[in-house]
Amino acid sequence: MALELIAAIVCAFALAGIALLARKLSGNRLPKWLVSVAAGVGLIGFTIWSEYDWFSRVSGELPEGVEVVWHAEQAMPLRPWTYLAPITTKFVAMDRRAMAQHPNNADLRMARLYNFARWQPVVDGLMIFDCAGGRQVMVQDGVEITPDGQLNGAEWATPAADDAFQNAACRAQ
């Protein structure tokens, strides 16, 4: 966050410098306020670019085998331009590299999920998928899978047929 603030300030100074240079080269015929406007455009422009580019920057840095399975685009009143082009503010990635299968039931799989949100720390969790039954459950305290593959301490949830989490977990490895 501090680096983005520094980058925004540098961008503002750069555009203000260009406007100041253009004003001097024109023999001071350009108005003085142009320098201030250029600095403001630099701040706002960098901020907008940073917001729109956040998802592609962060998801592009994910290691091989960690795939984005869901993302949320949002429009916000304090950013009216987002009504024209909503920005991605959060997404969930699944680590398929460390996916575990139950030793006695290959249809039961457990995957680590990473929840990314703008300006918030990454939160991770585990989810268990029953590929044969089309069910899933988040792992919380007290949830366990018995040696024969039965769930104790929670209720299975049945997702929609096109659920991205279920499809990513149950896809052939």
Over residues 110-153, the pLDDT tens digits come to 999 999 999 899 999 999 999 888 999 998 888 888 888 788 88
Question: Is residue 110 located within the same domain as residue 38?
Answer: no
Q: Are 127 and 138 in contact (CB under 8 A)?
A: yes
Total count of domains within the chain: 2
Q: Are 125 and 29 in contact (CB under 8 A)?
A: no
As a whole-number percent, the residues of the chain with pLDDT over 70 amount to: 99
Overall size of the chain counted in residues? 173
Domain extent, residue 122, equals 66-170
Confidence at residue 127, expressed as pLDDT on a 0 to 100 scale: 94
Question: Is residue 100 located within the same domain as residue 151?
Answer: yes
Question: Is residue 165 located within the same domain as residue 87?
Answer: yes
> Using CA atoms, how far apart are residues 168 and 106, in angstroms rounded to an integer?
15
Question: Is residue 99 located within the same domain as residue 123?
Answer: yes
Confidence at residue 172, expressed as pLDDT on a 0 to 100 scale: 62
Question: Is residue 52 located within the same domain as residue 77?
Answer: no
Question: Is residue 28 located within the same domain as residue 74?
Answer: no
Question: Is residue 106 located within the same domain as residue 136?
Answer: yes
Confidence at residue 106, expressed as pLDDT on a 0 to 100 scale: 83
Tokens describing residue 77: 């009143």
Q: How far lies 30's CA from each of 18, 33, 43, 172, in Å?
A: 12, 9, 21, 64
As a whole-number percent, the residues of the chain with pLDDT over 90 amount to: 67
Question: Is residue 77 located within the same domain as residue 54?
Answer: no
Is the pLDDT at 77 greater than 70? The verdict is yes
Average pLDDT, the chain: 91
Q: State which H helix or E strand residue 32 sits in.
A: none
Q: Are 153 and 143 in contact (CB under 8 A)?
A: yes
Q: Which residue has the tokens 């960690």?
A: 66
The stretches of 2-78 forming alpha helices (DSSP H) are 2-25, 33-60
